Structure 1
């Protein structure tokens, strides 16, 4: 029964009201309210679903183009990042020594710290002290210096359009010190690590 038909019925019943007719009128009025509420419910539901779809699409777009999300695997970035931490990366073309980056290597996404850029000359002594262009690098993020897994000769000049990267856990990290990984091409880099979102107790900006 349409809303117009319900109104016509109500007007007719109101002309001659008996107790039975009053009850019938009450039921008709209740039915009208029920239909109105149901239409309102579906309007709200459609609006909510549409909003959720838009929000989800924006979230996917941000995660793909601007803010990739990554879960840390392994201990090569200890103590800065721990195994199973969840972090956000931001897309950028502005890279400098000390930045944490995520990059693709053999279909895997690795996390390392940029030590030097194109043309920089890197040296690492037997104790693990790193120098860039003749200046010792201040590395407060490293707990224990070590030469680590290294099969290249120093001083080493970083090739054009590449970056020399190392993990903060120098003893275990396999990085640009090894020809297995080598220097990272700029096109391999996904983004800069800037925020840890999980666990909540460790929620913080990453430097």
Structure 2
């Protein structure tokens, strides 16, 4: 409504309808904006929750898992409580996050000869994922029996990996394991599943 001196000019019906339409459009826009922002916040929160609880995302540091996994790569792990020979797992040793391969489980016997060939319960372990074998840094008595509720793990780069062959790392308890590495998301040129090197488990 516009007022000029003492003359009151009323809006036409068309002007009133246009003003009403603009007001309704503004309300719809703000409602849509609030709904979109709410949805984005919920999706982000769920994504963080999923990544934290079920699918932790890890970045590879060091060279102990080459050539299977290289420094700087980003992988997704799957939480669980069932691990078997050949699985690649993320694990904590102290405050360090390491990535290693499960070689043997609770109660199994591990032996390694001078050339680095690994035997589990007396049978040679087929390891097609290795480029080179090496005895590595061993200070445990061989053959070695894995304690109850523990896993014997080794890196794929046997000559440099610090793993269960040395008491500085030792065998790993299940609660130390973050999850089984199942997928590589970076770099994009290597995007895809990370198997166990033996039976294609993902």
Aligned to 2:138: 150
CA distance in 1: counterparts of 2:187 and 2:19, whole angstroms: 52
1:119-158 CA distances to partner (integer Å, 9 max, x unpaired)? 0000001100000000000001111000111111210000
Aligned to 2:159: 171
Q: Which runs of 5+ in 2 are unaligned?
A: 2-9, 196-202
Aligned to 1:162: 150
Q: Look up the SS of the partner of 1:104 in the other structure.
A: strand
CA drift of 1:62 comes to 0.6
Aligned to 1:187: 175
CA distance in 2: counterparts of 1:85 and 1:99, whole angstroms: 18
Residues 117-136 of structure 1 aligned to structure 2 (within 5 Å): 117-136=105-124
CA distance in 1: counterparts of 2:62 and 2:23, whole angstroms: 58
Q: 1:116 aligns with which of 96, 101, 104?
A: 104
Q: Work out whether 1:80 is the aligned partner of 2:86.
A: no
Q: Which has the larger radius of gyration?
A: 1
Q: Work out whether 1:137 is the aligned partner of 2:121.
A: no
CA drift of 1:32 comes to 2.4
Q: 1:31 aligns with which of 19, 28, 34?
A: 19
The structure in which a higher percent of residues are helix is 1
CA distance in 2: counterparts of 1:128 and 1:153, whole angstroms: 15
